[in-house]
Amino acid sequence: MTPGIARVDTRLVRIPLTRPWGPDVRDLSVVAVEVTDSDGGVGHGFSWTPSIGARSVHAMLDDHLVPAALGREADPSAWQGLWEHVHEAGGGGVTTIALAGIDLALWDLRARRAGVGLPELLGRRHERQPAYGSGVNLHYPLDELVAQVRRWVDAGFTAVKVKVGSPDPAIDVDRLDAVREVLGPDRGLMIDANQRWDVGRATAALERLVRFDPLWIEEPLRADDLAAHRELRARTGIPIALGENLHTVHRFRDVLDAGVVDVVQPNVVRVGGITPFLAIAQLARERGVELAPHLLPELSASLAFALPERTWIEDVEDAAFAALGALDDDPGLRIVDGWASGGPSLGLGLRFRGGER
């Protein structure tokens, strides 16, 4: 018989960024979650938000999800009932981000009970997966952007992603000219507009940028504007990537069934944890669409090692939790010469230091 959830503890942790993501994004926030079962086992999870909403997520956990979780089976099967409990506050967003903390802790607990790391619990299929260098770098001067790309090339990455969406489209062209010169013709280039355009601006911009042969254009439009994505899909042949700002399996099904996306990018925390992430991965597989998890490399790679398909891992420079010194555990992830390998020896391998309750 599966033990029940006897206790859930939460604490807010601020993690300073070595390289700020902008003038107003100088740290990341996680809400560390510890679930204790009725047999005394402890699982460790977290909710994550880089810039906005950390205290709201913390309150959603403490005020609504924790009371609803107590007494339920200490197993990821608790996810559906907990999501239904908080759905009135929103089907996704703060609700799913908060719920991820408990879901991750329950998966960690399951793996710890089995005495294995998450990839082995799920059934490891790969010893390594490809990684690409990624940067939050639209605010970088050109010389800093070029230097960053050179570091990725020197580190052995075969693909990199940079930001586009400058107020003057000619600036993006100049920046990508410099980036492509460093990359050469054989390395992959992804570009990411972070929802900055409408259909007209996206069409005009992509007509200029297509000559750089991008592997994908990420979030060219507001993620929840399905009609606009249909229109843009008819106007450009550049593969479209999106998903970091979709929060439920239902929204992923919508964009997949509409045929507007070539690469889906679920963020494991924003969608509500590992339980819905696996369902989204299955949907992408059924539709023949590529999967490339958004950020969180220590967690995304653990999942990718257990997926049947080749899966890109996003490695943002100096932003992994281990690199920021935020963890008590060694998550075991190694990214060398553009490949992610390894993984945790027990559970998720993600226990955070410090924080306030």
Give tens-digit pLDDT for 66-118.
999 999 999 999 999 999 999 999 999 999 999 999 999 999 999 999 999 99
Q: Cα separation of 324 and 321, whole Å?
A: 5
Q: Looking at the DSSP assignment, which residues form a beta bridge with residue 7?
A: 36
- Residue 204 and residue 298 in one domain: yes
Q: Residues 311-318: what's their mean pLDDT?
A: 96
- CA neighbours within 13 Å on the CB side: how many for 112? 23
Q: Cα separation of 49 and 121, whole Å?
A: 27
DSSP 74-120: SSGGGHHHHHHHHGGG-SSSHHHHHHHHHHHHHHHHHHHHHTSBHHH
The pLDDT of residue 357: 66
How many residues are there in the chain? 357
Catalytic entry in 161, 163, 229, 247? 163
- Residue 108 and residue 221 in one domain: no
- Residue 260 and residue 173 in one domain: yes
CATH number at residue 41: 3.30.390.10
- Residue 176 and residue 316 in one domain: yes
186 falls within a domain: yes
- Residue 132 and residue 261 in one domain: yes
Instruction: Tell me how many domains the chain contains.
Output: 2
84 falls within a domain: yes
351 falls within a domain: no
> What's the domain range around 239?
120-342
The pLDDT of residue 4: 98
192 falls within a domain: yes
Q: What is the pTM of this model?
A: 0.96
Active site residue 163: yes
Q: Cα separation of 287 and 239, whole Å?
A: 15
- Residue 192 and residue 303 in one domain: yes
347 falls within a domain: no
356 falls within a domain: no
Which of 96, 114, 132 delimits the end of a domain? Answer: 114
Alpha-carbon separation of residue 55 from 13, 225, 254, 307 (angstroms): 10, 28, 30, 33
Which of 95, 114, 133 delimits the end of a domain? Answer: 114
- Residue 144 and residue 96 in one domain: no
- The separation between the first and the last C-alpha atoms of the chain, rounded to the nearest angstrom, is 32
Which of 114, 132, 147 delimits the end of a domain? Answer: 114
- Residue 330 and residue 256 in one domain: yes
Q: Mean pLDDT score of the chain, rounded to an integer?
A: 97
354 falls within a domain: no
- Residue 251 and residue 222 in one domain: yes
- Percentages of the chain per state (helix, strand, coil), in multiples of 5: 40, 20, 40
pLDDT in tens, 321-340: 999 999 998 999 999 999 99
- Residue 96 and residue 15 in one domain: yes
Active site residue 126: no
